[in-house]
Structure 1
Amino acid sequence: MVLGVLGALLVPSLSSPASAAGDATVVVRGTDLPVGGPIELSYVGCARLYERTAEVPQPFVGLGPDQAPAGERSLRYDLAGGTALGSLSYARSMASTTTSGLSVQAPRGAAGVAWVGYQEPADFGTTTYWFGRADVSAPAGAWTSVETTGLTYTWSRYDMATRRAVGGATAAPSTLAAMIAERGDGPGFRTVGFGCDGNRFALDALRVGDATGTTTYDLEGLTTTTVMAARPAPRGTVLTGVLRDGSGEQVVRGTLVLERQVAGGWETVQVVPAEAVDATVTVAPEQTTTYRWRFADRPLAEGSVSEPTTVTVAPGQETSQEPTQQPTRQPAQR
């Protein structure tokens, strides 16, 4: 997971709010937001932008809660308090951004913060920016859409090189649009997040857009692939199940279900852990039987099924119907 830390902003590298004309939805697997895209995850201080706690945020992908705003899943956090995690977007022209925000759900409600950084034309070529801060909140229990473009911010001037406020330099509370109307347009960033009060929360439907369209980021679970390999053994056939996520890594707490084909569908033969090592079962059916490995859909990752493999038994061959290990339990339906 990459978290934006709002270091020294290099104006030429700032992204445009939208990559193409028209509205679009981008499916994000876990926390893997597109590298170099207009939006990323942020982790910032609630009272002061750069004053964050030392904890390492641990993301959890889960179904819902309730009906997620985009897709089926959301990204959840339970922070210690004092810091906020959410979305961060950059723009060459802050005036061009028409929408920037996200959706949040918190069982007990949640307090968060929005920050905006903006460089007026008089400061071009320097590391001085205006920073604006605004409190945000979400009520208990329901998904809430939080929009940052219309917020009223409290303003101070910061030196991005030293990450310190420029002494005594403030502006009256106002929206970013009012600041731009008074001082001129320029580049900058917006970030909004939750966790300031330590209440757990879920995020989904991160969005950023301009006049050409809005891009919404649907936070979903990992994709998976399941592959079966078969090889002969002295007392049967060894069936190996290989479970990987979309990046080629093993799935945390992954288990595979070995199934055999029967009239009307498939039945469970055995459930085998597949987290540390690949799942392996030796089978010796009495008659020709078709098998497959299945990874059951769960909150963290989407399910997948291997291509079937048929173990052929020659006429008159004496074998045992059961695998070398007895079935353990039915697959968890989560």
Structure 2
Amino acid sequence: MRLRTTMALVASAMTLAALGAAPAEAAEGAQRLSGPATGDPDVFLTYVGCDALFGAAQPPQSRLNLGPYTAPMGRRSLGLVPAAPGTASGPFTRFASLAGLDTTVAVASTSGSQGVSYVMAITSDNLPGTAWRGRAALSAPAGSWTTVSTAATTYDWTLVELGTLAPLGSSETATTADFAARHGDGAGFAVTGFGCDGAPFNLDAVRGSGSTFDFEGTTLATGVAVDRRSVDAGQSVSLTGRVTDPSGRVTGDPLVLESRRPGGAWAPAGDLVLTGPNGLARVDVPVTETTEFRWHRPESQYADEGWSDPVTVTVAEAPAALEGAKNK
């Protein structure tokens, strides 16, 4: 899973003057994501340099996690593993009003995490070809989730030339609302990220530009197949299990076979079964009486537990048993 590159930010910086229109409206309620892609042009995850917005940066690895701690929304969050120190990863948010900007993101790290937040804006007192750049260092302590808000953050602001991003004067310090009150309101974008120290961290509950995103598990489907549905007592059947994601790709998740007499209670029929090179789980099971089988997919970091539909293997009655039944 990949985050958007900083090229998207370069394009945004070069077209700040065209951001007067309000961002697209998002549907009410949180949108559930199973990876870093939001599908929203106004809010997405990216990575930037910690020392310079468009400085050198490396993409992190990403994966879903249960936790850490108690996730602020749902049960899971998006874990990010920096490739090296010096890169901050987190949400990009486009805004139409600096005075009303309030992007928030929840972050957690078992070792703590250092981050940075940038704001680029064009206000009513900007000369053509210039923009205001705000920067603030961030810190998230270990032990719990921390919610970072752009509206509550104090930035160091510098007027820069848009073509080169070279500073054009001394800086000043203010929150986004106070800065808009001094220099006029305007449009722009904000990026808030963590991982500057190279430590892994998790993100959740991203809110901005009218959207809210909750990182949750992938929806998986588990299927079962049996080589024959009717056997003599004591014969074996071969059962295979297949786990697929929403695109139909076989994931290779390990499975546990469960069995029961028809109408009885389900119970494990063996240990966890690892999949082969083809991504399928397979076991051979002797059957002494008519039995139902199904596969159980245990809960994982990236998906909830699930079960396949059951299949029934019928055991034919032995001839002697049938003859005895007739003579009764």
Q: Give TM-score scaled by structure 2 length.
A: 0.81
- Aligned twin of 1:207: 207
Cα deviation digits, residues 140-172 of structure 1 (max 9, x gap): 212111111132212234455x5x323434542
The more displaced of 192-201 and 11-20 is 11-20
- Aligned twin of 1:255: 254
Query: Which amino acid is 1:269 matched to?
Result: G
Alignment partner of 1:7 out of 6, 10, 17: 10
Aligned residue runs from structure 1 range 106-145, under 5 A? 106-121=109-124, 128-145=130-147
Query: Which amino acid is 1:258 matched to?
Result: L
- Aligned twin of 2:77: 74
Tell me the CA shift for residue 52 of structure 1: 3.0
Structure 1: distance between partners of 2:249 and 2:57: 30
Structure 1: distance between partners of 2:22 and 2:315: 61
- Aligned twin of 1:322: none
- Aligned twin of 2:26: 19
Structure 2: distance between partners of 1:197 and 1:51: 16
Structure 2: distance between partners of 1:273 and 1:128: 59
Aligned residue runs from structure 1 range 314-325, under 5 A? 314-316=316-318
- Aligned twin of 1:329: none
- Aligned twin of 2:300: 298
Instruction: Tell me the SS of whatever aligns to 2:260.
Output: strand
Preserved contact between residue 103 and residue 146 of structure 1 (Cα < 8 Å): yes
Tell me the CA shift for residue 224 of structure 1: 1.2
- Aligned twin of 2:290: 288
Q: Give TM-score scaled by structure 1 length.
A: 0.80
Structure 2: distance between partners of 1:239 and 1:299: 26
Tell me the CA shift for residue 37 of structure 1: 5.0
The 3 A distance-change label for structure 1 pair 207 and 44 is: same
The 3 A distance-change label for structure 1 pair 249 and 159 is: farther
Query: Which amino acid is 2:274 matched to?
Result: P
Tell me the CA shift for residue 128 of structure 1: 4.0
Tell me the CA shift for residue 48 of structure 1: 0.4
- Aligned twin of 1:274: 275
The 3 A distance-change label for structure 1 pair 26 and 238 is: same
Tell me the CA shift for residue 188 of structure 1: 1.2
Preserved contact between residue 260 and residue 291 of structure 2 (Cα < 8 Å): yes
- Aligned twin of 1:196: 196
Preserved contact between residue 73 and residue 220 of structure 1 (Cα < 8 Å): yes
- Aligned twin of 1:30: 35
Instruction: Tell me the SS of whatever aligns to 2:30.
Output: strand
Preserved contact between residue 46 and residue 112 of structure 1 (Cα < 8 Å): yes
Structure 1: distance between partners of 2:206 and 2:44: 9
Tell me the CA shift for residue 238 of structure 1: 3.3
Preserved contact between residue 156 and residue 165 of structure 1 (Cα < 8 Å): no
- Aligned twin of 1:332: none
Q: How well do the aligned residues superpose, as a CA RMSD in angstroms?
A: 2.9
Gaps of 5+ in 1: 318-334
The 3 A distance-change label for structure 1 pair 310 and 15 is: farther
The 3 A distance-change label for structure 1 pair 63 and 94 is: same
Query: Higher strand proportion, which one?
Result: 1
Preserved contact between residue 255 and residue 275 of structure 1 (Cα < 8 Å): no
The more displaced of 214-223 and 63-72 is 214-223
Matched, 1:231 2:231: no
Instruction: Tell me the SS of whatever aligns to 2:110.
Output: coil
Structure 1: distance between partners of 2:272 and 2:20: 50
Preserved contact between residue 93 and residue 185 of structure 1 (Cα < 8 Å): yes
Tell me the CA shift for residue 284 of structure 1: 4.0
Structure 1: distance between partners of 2:53 and 2:275: 42
Instruction: Tell me the SS of whatever aligns to 2:181.
Output: helix
Query: Which amino acid is 2:26 matched to?
Result: S
Tell me the CA shift for residue 93 of structure 1: 3.3
Which of structures 1 and 2 has the bigger CA Rg?
A: 2
The 3 A distance-change label for structure 1 pair 260 and 181 is: same
Matched, 1:49 2:53: yes
